[in-house]
Amino acid sequence: MAKPRFLLVVFPAQGHVNPALQLAKRLVLIGCEVTFVTTVLAHHRMVTKCGGGFGDDNDSNNNNFTPPNGMSFAQFSDGYDDGFRPKPFDFTAYCTELRRRGTQALKGLVQSGQKEGRPYTCMVYTLIMPWAADVAAELEIPVALFWVQPATLFDVYYYYFNGYGDLIRDYMVNDYSSPLTLPGLSLDLTVRDLPSFLGPSGEKAYLIKLFEEQFKVLDKESHRPIVLINTFDVLEPEALRSISTNKLNVIGIGPLIDPIELRKSDDRDIVSEWLSSKSKGSVIYVSFGSVVVLSKPQMEEIAKGLLDFGRPFLWVIRGNDNKQDKEEEEEEKVSRRGELEKLGMIVPWCCQVEVLSNKALGCFVTHCGWNSTLESLVCGVPVVAFPQSVDQITTAKLIEDMWKIGVRVTAKDEGVVGAEEIKRCLELVILGGDEMRRNATKWRDSAMEASKEGGSSDINLKAFVNEVIGEKTFFYY
């Protein structure tokens, strides 16, 4: 039997590319062939950064990326091959152009495969690429959505666009004190826990249209839509069951983290050397991802909170590639740098999984991006949840109230989290977080169990492949 051949179509953002790359590797490992499709810029970054591909937030600069046998790459131009420079950036216009160019590229790839006698078995596409499903339908290829956020958020959006939109909007307008409950979910949600763009404020309104289109695409699929989610069965059991009905086949296949990165340790690396000089569980790791840009006042409050707490820290402060001039660059600099560097280390990047898996780590101050959250779970590191927008807000709720591996900061009225609040949360996690550490260890073990051969996510992924090729015996498990 010929190997199943998958076309994996990936939105060019780090939070999409990294888990998609791991999914590709898993499919190859279990006997499939994969063509990984993304933009020219995203591909360039992938092969020149962390050896395992994109990190959710911070990469090392290992240039020795080699795809496994059975995996190939296809690139197409989105018009920004040299990077995103315009300011402000029109995301809606970008998505329109991405659709036009990407549709042409996908059709060419599929048709080439058919002419060569090597047709694709299935197309898998990430969030924000719903037009890929239209291409698959037109060319009569089985298709699946790869969801790169929590299953709980998939449910929230599903209900919003399937009968509960008015209820959720009304709830957010009136800021009801009583929690919002949705079918199949026991988690009590407040206004503070929901993506703000679901409300009437108009903030990031373009996202509503993107998500609405995504769920319309699922609704019009001729077969029962398949949704692969980067989560695992015991982490979000209710969310995975809630809408996995006759209408949708929702499948947990995570956590999609490179196991090699967990075992890496290069003592010659300056960060690794610094971490190795610190005692077990003593270091605070601070990172806000590859997209979030903090305000100058917020940076200053974080600096003060870290200094006041007085424990060693590793803080990733990225350079801003889009800064217009030296004056703007100066504005981004945090004050008291000398004091900070006596207590901790400030770096522009690091390989996040390697850092989180270091024994010196005691706490992760994170924006709650889903990849970062999964990495903290896999590494067993408790969290100070510092969400900024969109999905991160709901993920922070899960961290604090469902999985109980961290605490969430509370911002002041003007939206800035003060130094005292940051210090308070660090004290709760570092000094009084025994239960959080136990829970983090429990979820680490559960994550490893799910992703190993014969684990729930391994079985689920193999069952998915069997389903799309119409075979019951391609894999035995």
CATH number at residue 63: 3.40.50.2000
- Can you give the pLDDT at residue 261? 58
| Helix or strand (DSSP H, E) at 256 | none
- Do 128 and 11 contact (CB within 8 A), yes or no? yes
Please check whether residues 16 and 81 belong to one and the same domain: yes
Please check whether residues 21 and 105 belong to one and the same domain: yes
- pLDDT(136) > 70: yes
Average pLDDT over residues 168-187: 85
Give a yes or no: residue 280 inside a domain.
Answer: yes
What sign has the CA pseudo-torsion 453, 459, 465, 469?
Answer: positive
The total of structural domains in the chain comes to 2
How big is the CA angle at 217 (ends 35 and 7), to the nearest 5 degrees? 5
**Which residues, at least 6 apart from 306, have a Cβ–Cβ distance to it below 8 Å?**
284, 286, 313, 315, 340, 343, 344, 422
Looking at every residue in the chain, the average pLDDT score rounds to 88
- Can you give the pLDDT at residue 117? 93
Give a yes or no: residue 321 inside a domain.
Answer: yes
Short-list 214, 216, 280, CA closest to 430: 280
Instruction: Work out the percent of the chain whose per-residue pLDDT is above 90.
Output: 70
Give the residue, 306 or 177, on which the prediction is more confident: 306
Average pLDDT over residues 52-62: 40
Give the residue, 293 or 240, on which the prediction is more confident: 240
Please check whether residues 464 and 436 belong to one and the same domain: no
- Can you give the pLDDT at residue 223? 87
Give the residue, 475 or 107, on which the prediction is more confident: 107
Give a yes or no: residue 406 inside a domain.
Answer: yes
Locate 342 and state its tokens: 């006596």
Name 250's bridge partners: 227
Please check whether residues 113 and 241 belong to one and the same domain: yes
pLDDT band (50, 70, 90) for residue 52: very low
Give a yes or no: residue 166 inside a domain.
Answer: no
- pLDDT(48) > 90: no
pLDDT band (50, 70, 90) for residue 477: very low
Give a yes or no: residue 476 inside a domain.
Answer: no
Please check whether residues 433 and 311 belong to one and the same domain: yes
Average pLDDT over residues 393-403: 97
Give a yes or no: residue 456 inside a domain.
Answer: yes
Q: How far is Cα 46 from Cα 55, in angstroms, rounded to an integer?
A: 9
Query: Which of 134-148, 160-174, 201-215, 281-295 bottoms out in mean pLDDT, i.e. has the lowest?
Result: 201-215
Please check whether residues 227 and 321 belong to one and the same domain: no
Q: How far is Cα 409 from Cα 439, in angstroms, rounded to an integer?
A: 19
Report the amino acid identity of residue 298.
Answer: Q
Please check whether residues 207 and 269 belong to one and the same domain: no
Query: Which residues constitute the domain of residue 371?
Result: 260-446
Give a yes or no: residue 348 inside a domain.
Answer: yes
- Interval 63-103: pLDDT, tens: 446 788 999 999 999 988 887 665 677 888 999 999 999 99
Within 10 angstroms of residue 70's Cβ, the number of other Cβ atoms is 16
Within 10 angstroms of residue 405's Cβ, the number of other Cβ atoms is 29
Please check whether residues 435 and 301 belong to one and the same domain: yes
Please check whether residues 310 and 243 belong to one and the same domain: no
Please check whether residues 264 and 227 belong to one and the same domain: no
Within 10 angstroms of residue 100's Cβ, the number of other Cβ atoms is 13
What's the order of all strands across the beta sheet hosting 226-229? 71-76, 33-39, 5-9, 122-126, 143-147, 226-229, 249-252
pLDDT band (50, 70, 90) for residue 292: confident
- pLDDT(286) > 70: yes
Average pLDDT over residues 382-394: 94
- Can you give the pLDDT at residue 290? 80
- Interval 241-281: pLDDT, tens: 998 777 899 999 999 998 765 655 555 589 999 999 999 99
Please check whether residues 234 and 149 belong to one and the same domain: yes
Q: Is 37 helix (H, G, I), strand (E, B) or coil?
A: strand
In sequence order, what DSSP letters do the residues of 317-374 get, joined into one string?
----TT--SHHHHHHH--S-HHHHHHHSEEES---HHHHHTSTTEEEEEE---HHHHH
Please check whether residues 219 and 317 belong to one and the same domain: no
Query: Which of 50-64, 232-246, 443-457 bottoms out in mean pLDDT, i.e. has the lowest?
Result: 50-64
Q: Which residues are catalytic?
A: 16
Short-list 405, 391, 397, 389, CA closest to 443: 405
- pLDDT(408) > 60: yes
245: number of CA atoms within 13 Å, CB side? Answer: 7
Give a yes or no: residue 441 inside a domain.
Answer: yes
Q: How far is Cα 313 from Cα 364, in angstroms, rounded to an integer?
A: 10
Instruction: Work out the percent of the chain whose per-residue pLDDT is above 70.
Output: 88
